[in-house]
């Protein structure tokens, strides 16, 4: 529906009821492996997931004790890109460290 503002001659339209859906968050997980040195894991978390050294150490220790740990939560496209880039870097360095993406 529309209203007229008779003083200015401007037509005011009703605000449509649009419900925007936020994209579902996706979490990148780092998986523990018995071959990759802890220092390398910390470096990758700092380099590709913008973790501080303390945060990276916590994530690495959690992955080591629990089997995997969240490295970050992003939109689907960003999460997939970060995991892919981190995995490619690990392979280029000859490391089996693996990152995966899961929808929340």
Domains with residue ranges and CATH for the chain: 25-69+81-96 (3.30.1390.10)
Kindly report, residue by residue over 23-38, the tens digit of the pLDDT: 999 999 999 999 999 9
Per the rule left: phi > 0, alpha: psi between -120 and 50, beta: everything else, 4 is: beta
Kindly report, residue by residue over 45-92, the tens digit of the pLDDT: 999 999 999 999 999 999 999 999 999 999 999 999 999 999 999 999
Contact criterion met (CB below 8 Å) for 99 and 31: yes
Query: For residue 2, which of 18, 10, 13, 16 has the smallest C-alpha distance?
Result: 13
Question: Which residues, at least 6 apart from 80, have a Cβ–Cβ distance to it below 8 Å?
Answer: 26, 101
- Total Cβ atoms within 10 A of residue 39: 9
Rounded to two decimals, what is the model's pTM? Answer: 0.81
């Amino acid at each position: 529906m529309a209203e007229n503002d008779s003083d200015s001659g401007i037509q005011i339209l009703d605000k449509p009821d649009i419900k925007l859906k936020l994209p579902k968050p996706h979490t990148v997980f780092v998986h523990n492996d018995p071959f990759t040195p802890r220092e390398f894991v910390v470096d990758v978390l700092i380099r590709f997931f913008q973790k501080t050294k303390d945060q990276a150490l916590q994530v690495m220790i959690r992955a080591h004790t629990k089997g995997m740990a969240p490295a970050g939560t992003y939109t689907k496209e960003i999460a997939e890109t970060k995991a892919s880039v981190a995995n490619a870097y690990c392979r280029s360095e000859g490391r089996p460290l693996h990152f995966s993406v899961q929808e929340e």
